[in-house]
Structure 1
Amino acid sequence: MTIRATPIVVGVGETKNCSQKVSDAIEPLVLILQSIHEALKDTSLSDSERGKLQAEIDGISVVAPWTWNYYDLPGLIARKLGVEPSYKTISEHNGASPARLFDEAARRISFGECKVAVVTGGEAMASLMACAAAGKMPPPGWEEADEDAEGIAGSSTFRKAHNIGNTHGIGLPIQVYPLYENAFRAHRNQTIRENNKESAKLYAEFAKVAEKHPMAWNYGQPAADEASIGTVSKKNRMICFPYPLLMNAFNNVNVAGSCILTSTEYAKELGIPENQWIYPLGGAGTIDSAHFWERPNYFASPAISKSLDAGLEVSGLTKDDIGIFDFYSCFPIVPKLACQHLGFSPSKPEKPITLLGGLTSFGGAGNNYSMHALAAMVRELRKGNAENGLVLANGGVVTYQHVVCLSTKPRKTPYPDENPLLTEVPDESPAIEERPEGEAIVETYTVDFSRDGKAKRGFIVGKLCKKGHRFLANEEDKATLLQLASDEREPIGRKGWVKSAGNGKGRNLFCFDAAEKL
């Protein structure tokens, strides 16, 4: 019988380049290497023993960066570290990747397929944007870019896709997450203003956390308060209803983070103190439909719910066993959906639900935000602030989810053999009508705003009253657009009419019923 190893985290490291000067631009590869060396230092080993640990790295898992397309980023990292790992991988573009790679690394150590695993990622978007604004290339020394690789976060994929989302100009995160916020609000019978207040209060609390986190982009700056977050202004313009700027992820940051995992056996051999050990207990993740219009509804996420439940179960825990949570928070709706499923109040959660402060105040860190959450969780558990912690990583447009649980105590059984969830949640969506005609009802919606603060375009997800089939549409007229953009009356559940535009563009148009009682 093969004896399974017990995986542990022995080092976590982070780094940040605060400068946004072109001359100070440091590429993601360098930031990543800095964070790995910080993680090696975090093991509390002597220089010679750290060198031995580094030499034994045989697994490198990298979260794909938005900033720069490398030809072989895991290979570059390996060469710079002077190692030849038997396992190298780079993730797809989504924010659930850090948790998934972490879970998989723990599993490989458990099976004896890996002795020392590094899970890492980094971004230099602030530097890249500074270069773009100056009309300059990054300073000499950056690795050559792979010009044929996929663009930032798959944005080019969205532009090229031929589907009803693209036809109607919707599919980006800033557009789809608001669809969920609006539907979630209506499902709970909140008014639009009550919902805004709840979101502002939630993010004000998150901002206080980021204010004290050294790796946060806003570290040291006064935290934005509830009034400034919830009030639309020139500095806090509406992006897509109901989210003003300070409820959107802020991605222009220069940060990197790494975790080092090994087995208890090798940690003992090296002499890594046991008070440095944190035990991964298990993980689980799944995916909702890549096409947001094929989701069951917009007031819940089956992938979030299933990942939370399975992640806890496979780790041998219940929600009551968790002392600290970190819920991904690119927009307020993600922590709200997680809280709703676990029975917490989003405005007054029973336990901490962020260790970083969210992607607005901490910084988006591209796909790598939850790597920093994992690092923060390890530190909190080491301090004795909780026995067990849970990290929920989210990606796409409420699409990709992965949960991992960590503890100060080991599992009683070997690390789980596999992810307990199917790759994708089975499709349970209503039938889609691509060319709808007739009376219809609004299921959810959002509105794009221009930089001058004016409503620009409406996006409606609706259902035909007779068939119950779902459709996508834009607004037909200015009156409908202004009603969608107003906080005076709830558009969800209201009736109107939908038709195909007939202009060769394939768009559908929706307007509210003029005869509807106001």
Structure 2
Amino acid sequence: MPVDPRTPVIVGVGQFTERIDDPDYRGMSAVELATEGVRAALLDTGADVTAVAQAIEVFAGLRQFEICTPFNTPSLGASDNYVRSVAQRVGADPARAVLEPIGGNGPQKLVTEFAGAIAAGDIEVALILGSEPGSTAKYFATRDDKPDFTEHVGGQLDDRGYGFEQYMSEYTANHGLTGAPVQYGLLDNARRGRLGLTVDEYRLAMAELFAPFSKVAAKNPFSSSPVERSVDELITVTDENRMICDPYPRLMVARDTVNQGAGVLVMSVAAARRLGAAEEKWVYLHGHADQTEQGLLDREDVSVSYSAKQAVAEALRVAGVGIDDIATFDLYSCFPFPVFAVCDDFGLAADDPRGLTLTGGLPYFGGPGNSYSLHGIAETVAQARDKPGTFGLVGANGGVMSKYSVGVYSTTPADWVADRSKALQQDIAALPKVPVTRNANGPGVIETYSVRYDWSEVTGIIIGRLAADDSRFMAITTDYELLALMTGGDPLGAKITVAAGDDGINRAVLT
């Protein structure tokens, strides 16, 4: 059916991966990896690559880990304008370059944002790009022949800031929440408590969720770790599958030692026709939504995700379909919790015959920082093209289940429909907040927990409730008896005594 010529369509997607055991492994930079992904996306349009590149008005990039905070300097140097460095390499000179804050929701958020700008007539062509050179950094860490990836290209850049302050505070960092595994460990253990499962039962459930992901990754040519893993492999702790942060052995944790790049090209129907983009490859963004969660310690129930629930529901509503109408899913899977959160709310089983990933998931396909879901979108577009008329859903998660963005894709032509994300955000803003006691003293109970095995001293990380007023607090522990319970038993609901230190850190012991 005819659509408005301003309707946005995905016309090109591209991915690139180099593995450290590849015979032609180069140890590429972030710019080089993104460039390969963008070149693949340009070729995928079926149009004149030079003409398409020159028509791109906006290049929007995702941050790599090495430029996610102002506190670190990239060990091998970096471009002063990552986005324009990539643009120059593909012969483009966009009017606008954008660098998004950190967050794995960023790829879908940017696709939705600039698709909306195209529908509004503000622009006609936009490119979303991302990459992660974690493998390169690790490869050259102990070598003498280090490359220098420093570039000075200057030019306009809409730098939207780092954004890490949305996910952590001095208080949470002082109490050990300085990495994603421990943060998500708190969420998964809280969910285990809500479901009434034992430690062993929950580990089995996580493995049964993720083993099928590894099977998909094993067949994906862009996977960083194309190895199928059994349930037994995932639950058995070994030297290779060591504990990282409770409840996760290494093989259930997002793989950040990757070299991956991707690009997604969006343009109006009018521009696609003018530039000659192959119409049989057009994919429409039928549904979309973005939601932001409360801060971690504010949430009344840390075992659920209101933002994921509302974003998925709204994207489905905008698309005019239900969850049963979705043919493919790619749900963000840095750890089990983000997948479980969506499954819980929409009745999806771990063994749903449609599958829950197209890439193979972050622990196996690879977790290229903030840009993972660009790969999820690329795979969803490819699947939609293979099965015209079907619908694919991408769920992209950022922070500590802090932001969730959803896209619903199909080859079926459809005009752009605005979502109600801003209005729905008021529902989350209206949720009750749990009072927090920063300097906690006295008896309490463990609400949820994790254990950091990745520190030099094994340390327990606790979110608890004070017996006096049921306010929430954070604490750490190296107490022998409490650690024994946290590593070899089940501490949920255990009675503890907490004391605030002069250093601003609360420390807990078993009562």
The correspondence of residues 24-173 of structure 1 with structure 2, limited to 5 A, is 24-45=26-47, 49-67=48-66, 69-134=78-143, 136-138=145-147, 140=148, 142-143=150-151, 163-173=170-180
Are residues 381 and 460 of structure 1, via their aligned partners in 2, closer, same or farther at CA, if it must alter by over 3 Å?
same
Unaligned runs of 5+ in 1: 514-518
Quote the offset at 1:99 in angstroms. 0.5
Normalised to the residue count of structure 1, the TM-score between the two structures is 0.88
Alignment partner, residue 463 of structure 1: 465
Alignment partner, residue 7 of structure 2: 6
Secondary structure in 2 matching 1:218: coil
In 2, the alpha carbon distance for the partners of 1:144 and 1:425 equals 43
Are residues 267 and 253 of structure 1, via their aligned partners in 2, closer, same or farther at CA, if it must alter by over 3 Å?
same
C-alpha contact 1:126 1:252 (8 A) present in aligned 2: yes
Alignment partner, residue 248 of structure 1: 253
Residues paired across the two proteins, number = 491
Quote the offset at 1:384 in angstroms. 0.4
Secondary structure in 2 matching 1:367: helix
Are residues 269 and 385 of structure 1, via their aligned partners in 2, closer, same or farther at CA, if it must alter by over 3 Å?
closer
In 2, the alpha carbon distance for the partners of 1:71 and 1:464 equals 48
In 1, the alpha carbon distance for the partners of 2:107 and 2:465 equals 37
In 1, the alpha carbon distance for the partners of 2:448 and 2:153 equals 41
Quote the offset at 1:127 in angstroms. 0.9
C-alpha contact 1:381 1:389 (8 A) present in aligned 2: yes
Secondary structure in 2 matching 1:422: helix
Secondary structure in 2 matching 1:134: coil
Deviates more, 1:470-479 or 1:333-342: 470-479
C-alpha contact 2:314 2:419 (8 A) present in aligned 1: no
Quote the offset at 1:368 in angstroms. 0.6
Of 187, 197, 220, the residue aligned with 1:213 is 220
Determine if the alignment matches structure 1 residue 179 to structure 2 residue 178.
no
Of 389, 393, 396, the residue aligned with 2:392 is 389
Of 464, 477, 480, the residue aligned with 2:479 is 477
Quote the offset at 1:4 in angstroms. 6.3
In 1, the alpha carbon distance for the partners of 2:153 and 2:461 equals 36
In 2, the alpha carbon distance for the partners of 1:396 and 1:362 equals 20
In 2, the alpha carbon distance for the partners of 1:44 and 1:84 equals 21
- Post-superposition Cα deviations, 1:150-173, rounded to whole Å, max 9, x if no partner, equal 9x9878x799x8632122222421
In 1, the alpha carbon distance for the partners of 2:87 and 2:129 equals 12
C-alpha contact 1:280 1:406 (8 A) present in aligned 2: yes
Q: RMSD of aligned C-alpha atoms? A: 2.8
In 2, the alpha carbon distance for the partners of 1:166 and 1:36 equals 36
Are residues 158 and 106 of structure 1, via their aligned partners in 2, closer, same or farther at CA, if it must alter by over 3 Å?
closer
C-alpha contact 1:323 1:386 (8 A) present in aligned 2: no
Of 239, 263, 267, the residue aligned with 1:262 is 267
C-alpha contact 2:8 2:416 (8 A) present in aligned 1: no
- Post-superposition Cα deviations, 1:122-145, rounded to whole Å, max 9, x if no partner, equal 12110121111325532x565259
C-alpha contact 2:6 2:121 (8 A) present in aligned 1: yes
Alignment partner, residue 358 of structure 2: 355
C-alpha contact 2:380 2:392 (8 A) present in aligned 1: yes
In 2, the alpha carbon distance for the partners of 1:424 and 1:94 equals 22
C-alpha contact 2:13 2:264 (8 A) present in aligned 1: yes
Q: Which amino acid aligns with 2:219?
A: K
Alignment partner, residue 497 of structure 2: 497
C-alpha contact 1:236 1:244 (8 A) present in aligned 2: yes
C-alpha contact 1:432 1:471 (8 A) present in aligned 2: yes
Q: Which amino acid aligns with 1:506?
A: G
- Post-superposition Cα deviations, 1:39-64, rounded to whole Å, max 9, x if no partner, equal 1211223xxx3332222111211111
Alignment partner, residue 445 of structure 2: 441
C-alpha contact 1:158 1:171 (8 A) present in aligned 2: no
Secondary structure in 2 matching 1:414: coil
- Post-superposition Cα deviations, 1:346-373, rounded to whole Å, max 9, x if no partner, equal x323532100111110111111100000
Quote the offset at 1:252 in angstroms. 1.0
C-alpha contact 1:61 1:118 (8 A) present in aligned 2: yes
Deviates more, 1:116-125 or 1:370-379: 116-125
In 1, the alpha carbon distance for the partners of 2:283 and 2:412 equals 7
Q: Which amino acid aligns with 1:243?
A: Y
Quote the offset at 1:180 in angstroms. 0.7
- Post-superposition Cα deviations, 1:205-248, rounded to whole Å, max 9, x if no partner, equal 110000000100123xx312111111111111111111011111
Are residues 135 and 397 of structure 1, via their aligned partners in 2, closer, same or farther at CA, if it must alter by over 3 Å?
farther
Normalised to the residue count of structure 2, the TM-score between the two structures is 0.89
In 2, the alpha carbon distance for the partners of 1:304 and 1:348 equals 20
Quote the offset at 1:198 in angstroms. 0.9
C-alpha contact 2:81 2:153 (8 A) present in aligned 1: no
Give the share of equivalent positions with the same residue, in percent.
28
In 1, the alpha carbon distance for the partners of 2:139 and 2:478 equals 39
In 2, the alpha carbon distance for the partners of 1:79 and 1:224 equals 41
Unaligned runs of 5+ in 2: 67-73
Of 171, 194, 199, the residue aligned with 1:192 is 199
C-alpha contact 1:440 1:495 (8 A) present in aligned 2: yes
Quote the offset at 1:32 in angstroms. 1.5
C-alpha contact 1:441 1:464 (8 A) present in aligned 2: yes
In 2, the alpha carbon distance for the partners of 1:417 and 1:175 equals 34
